[in-house]
Copies of this chain bind each other. A is one copy, B any other.
Amino acid sequence: MKFGGTSMAGTERIRRVANLVRRQAANGDEVAVVVSAMAGETDRLVNFCREANALYDPAEYDVVVASGEQVTAGLLALTLQSLGCKARSWLGWQLPVHTVSAHAKARIEDIENDALLESLKSGTIAVIPGFQGVSSEGRISTLGRGGSDTSAVAVAAAIDADRCDIYTDVDGVYTTDPRIVARARKQKAVTYEEMLELASVGAKVLQTRSVGLAMKEGVRVQVLSSFVDDDATPADDLPGTMIVSEEEMERILEESDMERQLVTGIAHDKNEAKVILTRVPDKPGAVAHIFEPLAEASINVDMIIQNVGRDKGETDVTFTVPQADLARAQALLDDKRDEIGFNRIITDSHISKISVVGVGMKSHAGVASTMFRALSERGINIQAISTSEIKVSVMIDEDETELAVRVLHTAYGLDAED
């Protein structure tokens, strides 16, 4: 079971979490719980570090910020004990959770499970702070922001858990954002690949890295809400959305007598910005001059299109970058102006990316054309297109985001019945 910062924000909420954990343990299950820091706490600690040293040493940063999860782990163990459960906390260095590579963005290499399994077997609930581990030098390491989902999946893998239940402030994965489409449906299950694509295009239910790890380790993940009544459906009745392998997906569909949908979800992302470089020489290698410096600066370029040039031998190149990286990208390209040989940089943050995702489209043609037709019928102009095996994305004007999502939700037959 994994609980995020909103669920851990204060002792009263921690008591609600403890009740959910107790109910699961009372079911006869051995339970390990991974917790985040109280909402706002990590920001507070990060700010302290910035104030102390703008160019902070990540090893000491880790010492400071890892304390947030240490506190909530201790408090949840105490609260569980007050409810009559056997419980203890296991800090990253105590299990230990071995990590590799850089501080502040470490990667879990291995979690020792002997002591943990023994403790679980004795009926003791294990409470484990997410986000933290210990480096090969014996120092505290952290996984980078949002790393607690990854911790939870790694712990689940280490103890060969039946399931990794990730409690969030939504009650599952929907066909699209329910704030935009009232008829959006909660899904019974989605595959790892679909979840990866949905996460990468802005449906931020789970941290992308955690989904990748779950896929690699074959951990069955359930996304469900921590804001439920005490007498709600227990987690074993799978009230949330399961994230599973394609094989299990087939089984689930068969068992529940459901048909596989062509498209599982429709995601939108308003955090991209468009960059146009005008009059780039239309010759081999020109595009490399543009994208190599961006890649080196870890700026993630998504959609790329080469417009037909106005003049012979020249072309306009359009692509998208995260809005947060736009200023940095612009500065980098300005530096390389001579090398690249463009005329002007035009930027536009007023765009949106709409993606339709579904494993089903692997074996079905026509998914993209349904999309293009549905959008054009409503007069929505497509500025760029990118595709993967299980995803089609288009760039449109930001003002048309909600309209596009609704149109597509209906076009792919995803609207819930009355």
Contacts and interface: CB of A to CB of B under 8 A. Distances in A.
Given A11-B52, A63-B91, A57 B71 contact: no
Interface string A310-328: 0000000000000000000
Contact of A77 (B15, B57, B70, B81): B57
Contact of A56 (B63, B78, B88, B139): B78
A91 B15 CA distance: 30
A111 interface: no
A67 interface: yes
Contacts of A52: 11, 14-15, 75-76, 78-79, 82
Interface in A53-91: 53-57, 59-64, 66-67, 70-71, 73-79, 81-82, 88-89, 91
Contact of A60 (B51, B59, B74, B94): B74
B48 A60 contact: no
Given A57-B81, A82-B54, A93-B93, A49 B75 contact: yes
Given A45-B71, A52-B14, A71-B45, A78 B60 contact: yes
Which applies to chain A's interface (DSSP): helix, strand, loop or mixed?
helix
A64 B71 contact: yes
Contacts of A75: 48-49, 52, 60, 64
A60 B81 contact: yes
A138 interface: yes
Interface string A79-112: 1011000001101011000000000000000000
Contact of A63 (B14, B49, B59, B70): B70
Given A59-B88, A60-B78, A48 B11 contact: yes
A337 B140 CA distance: 57
A51 B55 CA distance: 37
B63 A89 contact: yes
Contacts of A14: 52
A67 B66 CA distance: 9
Interface residues of A, number: 40
Interface string A130-146: 00000000111000000
Contacts of A11: 48, 51-52
A254 B412 CA distance: 96
A32 to B, nearest CB: 16
Interface of A: 11, 14-15, 45, 48-49, 51-57, 59-64, 66-67, 70-71, 73-79, 81-82, 88-89, 91, 93-94, 138-140
Given A11-B51, A54-B82, 12 more contacts: A48-B71, A49-B74, A52-B75, A53-B81, A57-B78, A63-B73, A63-B77, A63-B89, A63-B91, A64-B70, A67-B67, A91-B140
The 10 closest A-B pairs by CB, nearest first: A63-B74, A64-B74, A53-B82, A11-B51, A67-B67, A52-B78, A53-B78, A52-B79, A60-B77, A60-B74
